């Protein structure tokens, strides 16, 4: 996919490529292709100088940048929700179609008149794979952080567990950021418990990930103190 964007964007000017790099409206492979073309032209400095000044953005515009990191958001007059929904689609799809292939194999043999008892293994495996695959397709690996006037809640759901942690305003301390070698996390700090990682953004070349996380943490702190800041 990225190679196709490289060919498509090759004739674009550097200014046009910078617009693509800084736009959340383009998918990641398109932004990566635009970045590579700018680097190939020896104009890396323009990438650095074109970084957004997040402090000047309204909250709704700041949150749109999260789409580049596989997060979505819902912003209303009474609450703010930041979430990531990672469906186990690939594994589920593979299992489902492997199972379907086994079932079709058995049906084809029956059509040819082969009713060997050994086909029972194939049909059993096929049905089991289809059931497991369909189950994973319907299951979400879901995480969301929700803030409202009552406090903060963090919910995590996957195939094995379901948990929700509610932090009242009286126990909430502040949001902070922590940078790692490949990512930067926003942590929720409590007065009576250990800090909790609530958002994790993968670091990307020539993208101001740390600046985005820092500004977002500051805005979340403002919101918890005064929900009318939305």
Whether residue 107 is predicted with pLDDT greater than 80 in this model: the reply is yes
Whether residue 88 is predicted with pLDDT greater than 60 in this model: the reply is no
- DSSP SS3 for 163: strand
Comparison of pLDDT for 48 and 207, the residue scoring more: 207
CA nearest 198: which of 209, 184, 210?
184
Least confident interval from 55-69, 75-89, 213-227:
75-89
Q: What is the pLDDT of residues 135-187, one digit of tens each?
A: 766 655 557 788 887 778 887 765 555 677 888 888 889 999 999 998 999 99
According to DSSP, the residues that pair with 189 across neighbouring strands are 174
Comparison of pLDDT for 130 and 144, the residue scoring more: 130
pTM over 0.75: no
Q: 43: buried, middle or exposed (CB in 10 Å: 19+, 13-18, 0-12)? A: middle
- DSSP SS3 for 205: coil
| Residue at token pair 């020896």 | 42
| Residue at token pair 């948990």 | 163
Say if residues 51 and 208 touch (Cβ distance below 8 Å).
yes
């Amino acid at each position: 996919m990225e190679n196709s964007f490289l060919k498509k964007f090759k004739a674009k000017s550097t200014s046009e490529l910078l617009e693509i790099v800084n736009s959340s409206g383009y998918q990641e492979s398109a932004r990566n292709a635009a970045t590579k073309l700018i680097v190939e032209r020896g104009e890396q400095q323009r990438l650095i100088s074109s970084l957004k000044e997040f402090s000047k953005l309204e909250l709704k515009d700041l949150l749109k940048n999260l789409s580049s990191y596989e997060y979505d958001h819902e912003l209303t007059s009474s609450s703010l929700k930041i979430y990531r929904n990672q469906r186990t689609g690939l594994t589920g799809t593979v299992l489902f179609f492997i199972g379907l292939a086994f079932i079709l194999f058995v049906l084809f043999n029956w059509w040819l008149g082969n009713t060997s008892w050994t086909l029972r293994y194939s049909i059993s495996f096929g049905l089991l794979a289809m059931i497991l695959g369909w189950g994973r397709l319907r299951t979400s690996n879901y995480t969301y952080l929700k803030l409202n006037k009552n406090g903060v809640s963090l919910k995590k759901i996957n195939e094995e567990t379901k948990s929700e942690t509610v932090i009242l305003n009286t126990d909430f301390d502040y949001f902070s950021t922590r940078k790692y070698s490949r990512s930067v996390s926003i942590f929720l700090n409590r007065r009576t418990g250990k800090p909790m990682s609530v958002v994790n953004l993968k670091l990307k070349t020539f993208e101001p990930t740390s600046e985005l996380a820092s500004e977002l943490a500051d805005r979340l702190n403002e919101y918890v103190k005064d929900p009318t800041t939305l």
